[in-house]
Structure 1
Amino acid sequence: MSTSESVQNSLDISDFDHTPYYCEENVYFLCKKLCTSGVADAGGSDLFVVFISNENKQIPLWHQKASKRADGIVLWDYHVVCIQKRREGDTPHLVWDLDSSLPFPSPLTSYVSETIRPSFQLFSEYQRFFRIVHAPIFLRCFASDRRHMKDSVGNWTVEPPVYEPIVAEDGAVHNLNEYNEIRAPDNTINANLSNEVFTQRLGVVIDVGQLEEFFSQIP
């Protein structure tokens, strides 16, 4: 067992901060904790923040704790998880989803089949797309003043986290909308796309059929 695996096994989901309905902030701090605890590379080079959404802001995901149904399905407007690319031989890539009832973390292949269920026939308005952002870039550039959680008169629709809002290194106070506005990609996976994820502030967008292939191709 590698050092990162032994540390991973000592981490419990309760060790991570979690505020319901603030998945983007939860993942921001999850990435930081994975880096500082030794589960991930100290600089986060093996971590990727993944925004899941579509133009209609309606994406079904299964095995979600917020669901009141036996199958755990929730129709989110968007969701955010962390995917860790593993480089050790046959070790599976991992999905860290604080809102999932599946094992934490889950192998990417089982998470895709159980939570995303690409074989399930969906109407076009429910198709899921994935914005993949390299964690080191996300941790520098992401900002949210939580304005999306206020109603028209400024009241909270959901209570915010107790800590201060996240401000980007460049001083930006809110750019969440740039990350969760996701349209169908007009590209296919290629070497350029696999390399762009390491340089683009907003990462790259792929569809559900490309997700596992993408992580097998990035260096």
Structure 2
Amino acid sequence: MASSAAVDVSQFDHTPYYCEENAYFLCKNLCANGMAQPDGSDLYIIFISNDKKQIALWHQKASKFTDGLVLWDYHVICVQRKTDSSIVVWDLDSALQFPSPLAFYVSETTRPWFQLFPEYQRFFRIVHASIFLRHFASDRRHMKEPDGTWQAQPPANDPIVAEDGTVHNLNEYMDIKAADAVENVDDGVINTVHSEKLGIVIKQDQLEKFFTHVT
């Protein structure tokens, strides 16, 4: 069951179809307004995708169906492990409570009991937000048609440029393959997430375990 500690989602900027930028600025805002640690140390960015670039997620605002089903090529959310050890998901594209407890979000959004062919299983790239905010960059090229027109209207703010001047590396984060998933979640995996630009890739059934291991 969802917690009662809901937050007004309208206080955060949201541009449809630009989930990576939504998550980026969400993290910045959570840090700035005192709802997260100032350095983002309690926040994690998660890219969800697979080899097919087709993932089914439910309760999405962009859906045309009553159950909120959308087949995304990838999706990006923010997960927070709070000081009281509770774990919540911030997803600006979700119709669920904002934020939602992790277990509730996973159950409702991914419907683990819903049988998928192996090639459509979801995989999760976990990146520590404090690292992501320094290294992520997007010039939005992935949202342009060959003739230069936009597939969807971009955010009003300027494109995100990394601290080192990189203008686009979104493709590195969204390149998620089953073969890259770790076998076990252990201290080494936790340390990698806290030190490497692209974090690690895990399977769906390892997601909750990862966050219970984070200290």
TM-score (ref. length: structure 1):
0.93
Contact 2:6 2:97 in 1 (8 A): no
- Structure 1 distance, partners of 2:130, 2:186, is 22
Q: Say yes or no: does 1:23 pair with 2:19.
A: yes
Specify which of 5, 14, 35 is matched with residue 39 of structure 1: 35
Specify which of 123, 133, 152 is matched with residue 129 of structure 1: 123
The residue aligned with 1:57 is 53
The residue aligned with 2:156 is 162
Contact 1:179 1:202 in 2 (8 A): yes
- Structure 2 distance, partners of 1:170, 1:205, is 24
Q: 1:39: Cα distance to partner?
A: 0.6
Q: Which is worse superposed, 118-127 or 19-28? A: 118-127
The residue aligned with 2:90 is 96
Contact 2:6 2:98 in 1 (8 A): no
- Structure 1 distance, partners of 2:38, 2:142, is 31
Q: Say yes or no: does 1:73 pair with 2:65.
A: no
Contact 1:58 1:126 in 2 (8 A): yes
Relative distance call for 1:10 and 1:123 in structure 2 (3 A) is: closer
Q: Say yes or no: does 1:138 pair with 2:168.
A: no
Letter of the 2:212 partner, please give it.
Answer: S
SS at match of 1:87: coil
Contact 2:23 2:77 in 1 (8 A): yes
Runs of 4+ aligned residues of structure 1 deviating over 4 Å after TM superposition are 8-11
Letter of the 2:194 partner, please give it.
Answer: F
Q: Percent identity?
A: 62
Q: Per-residue CA shift, 1:163-182, capped at 9, x if unaligned?
A: 11000000000000000010
The residue aligned with 1:178 is 172
SS at match of 2:160: coil
- Aligned ranges 1:177-196 → 2 under 5 Å: 177-184=171-178, 185-196=181-192
- Structure 2 distance, partners of 1:179, 1:200, is 12
- Aligned ranges 1:98-117 → 2 under 5 Å: 98-117=92-111
Q: 1:154: Cα distance to partner?
A: 1.4
Instruction: Please provide the CA RMSD for this pair.
Output: 1.4
TM-score (ref. length: structure 2):
0.95
The residue aligned with 1:85 is 81
Letter of the 1:183 partner, please give it.
Answer: K
Q: Per-residue CA shift, 1:30-67, capped at 9, x if unaligned?
A: 00000011110011100000000001100000000111
- Structure 2 distance, partners of 1:199, 1:157, is 35
- Structure 1 distance, partners of 2:6, 2:174, is 32
Q: Per-residue CA shift, 1:187-211, capped at 9, x if unaligned?
A: 2211100111000100111010000
Q: Which is worse superposed, 205-214 or 147-156? A: 147-156
Q: 1:118: Cα distance to partner?
A: 1.6
The residue aligned with 1:3 is none
The residue aligned with 1:4 is none
Q: 1:10: Cα distance to partner?
A: 8.2
Q: Say yes or no: does 1:217 pair with 2:210.
A: no
Letter of the 1:82 partner, please give it.
Answer: C
Letter of the 1:100 partner, please give it.
Answer: S
Q: Per-residue CA shift, 1:99-144, capped at 9, x if unaligned?
A: 0010000000100100011221111121100000000100000000
